[in-house]
Amino acid sequence: MELTFEEFLAILIAFASTRYIPTIYSIYTGRPKEVLPKIKRRITRLINSNLYLQMYVGRTSSPEEELPRYAGEFDKAVVVYRTTSLRYAHEVEDELIRYYAESILMDILDEGDVGIEKPRDIKEKPPYYVYVVLR
């Protein structure tokens, strides 16, 4: 079956409008103090191997819904942590922000820098995920 030019164009437009960001699921679980060194090593390896200069660290209960919001603004997303404890999720998120903000390697972006407005913790239910997006 051959496509007409109009059909091909319609498919191309539909595909282009799909919000997609390449995502790596490199998920650690456990107590923050036990897994944070591993998470930091994983993120740092990604940063160094691809020369990313900016990152945003976030938390969500639904990576499949959250991460496409970064499509077009960032090159890659990495889901790094999963827990049923909101406290643990906050701890990992906050430590990653602190750690990379103190590093001269990265420009840590806040929600205003990436144009994402998301009320925190409203209607979020476990499990919770911590992710980074890189550009």
Cross-strand bridge partners of residue 56? 133
Question: So what's the pLDDT on residue 47?
Answer: 86
What's the CA gap between 26 and 45, in Å, rounded?
12
What's the CA gap between 106 and 85, in Å, rounded?
28
With contact defined as beta carbons under 8 Å apart, do 80 and 39 qualify?
Answer: yes
Question: So what's the pLDDT on residue 24?
Answer: 92
What's the CA gap between 73 and 54, in Å, rounded?
11
Q: Which tens digits make up the pLDDT trace of 21-48?
A: 999 999 999 999 999 999 999 999 988 8
Measuring CA to CA, which residue among 97, 105, 103 is closest to residue 80?
Answer: 97
Low-confidence ranges of the chain (pLDDT < 50): 112-119, 121-122
Question: So what's the pLDDT on residue 128?
Answer: 96
Tokens describing residue 104: 């001269």
Q: Across 1-135, where does the E strand assignment appear?
A: 23-28, 54-60, 76-83, 107-108, 128-134
CA 22 to chain centre: 10
What's the CA gap between 46 and 91, in Å, rounded?
22
Question: So what's the pLDDT on residue 106?
Answer: 59
Q: State the distance between the two ends of the chain, measured CA to CA, in whole angstroms.
A: 40
